[in-house]
Amino acid sequence: MHSFLILGSAALAAGHGLLEKITVDGTTYPAFDTRVDHDFPGGVQRIMWGYSKSRVNGTAPVDNVNSPDIACRFNPLVSPALTAPARAGSNITFEWTEWFASHKGPVLTYMGFMPSENISVNQVEFFKIDQDTYDAKTDRRGTHNLIDNNNTRTVTIPSNIKPGTYVVRHEIIGLHFAWQEKTVQGQIGAQPYPNCVKVQVTGSGTDSPPGEKFPGAYGWRDPGLLVNVPPGPAVYKGEHNPPQGPVPVVANTGALSGERGEAYARFKEEKGQAIKHAVASDLKKGMKGLGGCFWEEGADPSTVKCSTINPDNPGPFIGYAQPKESPMYTETPGALMRGQKPPPKLYGNENNPRRRIMV
């Protein structure tokens, strides 16, 4: 079958911020590809909430924490046609398209109980089940570990939560521009890339962890979005006993086969060629990329890679948005940082006093 090779490497603006596939309790499902799935004739079925192509083919981050988009990405959302069954205590693995090493930050996963099928994701109360943030001993962030693990992160569904339908919200937050505090309330320099999947949890658990809604869980001046500590609530300390019963048998994962599968592969190839030509045009104009990425001059647009550091723009990697334990932390903004350090005050969501913290 044809492959869509260029999207994971060549297209900076079109290739990052996307899930490639999700494995739920042993079964692998294709993720919703906003660059392709909206337009494929006959449509596709996914376990993931699909989202709009309104921002850079839909692959951009959400820069307003007060927007409904902060839950599962850009509205209007497309509700999942499928639900992934999973035993409490089983694993979910999220595989991203190639993540750019320059987009450093935490990797976070939440779950939220859906009391009914017609509830909006913005009404769901999410509790955090996993986070991989900053390790001062190694000067590594969650994205370092994600990349080293073939762009994947595996989390465990708490074994003691009550059965039912859940929204699983998985997110990377790039902090390479976190120092760019915006003048409009709600807008942030940090780059959240949230994605949501629908999971039917089985088991005999009874726990209903308290949660927080999106928007609402993040404040526009929260630590973790302006300075670097994990945003959102603390991780729920649930039980992690082995799953009970047989692995679920799934009849339909949403993956296409036969003639439909070949047509889908050709369609992705066509989309990829269009993006390849756009990247080639940028390279001819001398554009080196955004977000600290660097495209080598004269590179083949079908294979060009995003390097870790853009030598022409080192500023985003130094500043008060870095962890204080990090060698990249400084309280003296440089010429490229476009701002001053905010004065000490209460950072956090004014509507959520439980989350306020003094820095």
Give the CATH number of domain 19-225; options: 3.40.50.10610, 3.65.10.10, 1.10.150.20, 2.70.50.70: 2.70.50.70
Instruction: Output b/e per residue, 98-127; b: 16+ Cβ within 10 A.
Output: bbbbbbbbbbbbbbbbbeeeeeebbebbbb
- Rg for the chain (alpha carbons), in Å? 20
pTM of the predicted model, to two decimals?
0.82
Q: Which amino acid is at 96?
A: W
Structure tokens at 301: 């647009």
CA 271 – CA 261 distance, rounded (Å): 15
Residue scoring higher pLDDT (189 or 83): 83
Peptide bond into 353 cis (omega under 30): no
Please state, rounded to an integer, the average pLDDT across all residues of the chain.
78
Q: What is the pLDDT of residue 231?
A: 77
Q: Give tens-digit pLDDT for 30-84.
A: 999 998 999 999 999 999 999 998 876 688 899 888 999 999 999 999 999 999 9
**115 pLDDT above the threshold of 50:** yes
Instruction: Output b/e per residue, 298-331; b: 16+ Cβ within 10 A.
Output: eeebeebbbbeebeebebbbbbbbbbeebeeeee
**324 pLDDT above the threshold of 70:** no
Question: In this prediction, what percent of the chain has a pLDDT beyond 70?
Answer: 66
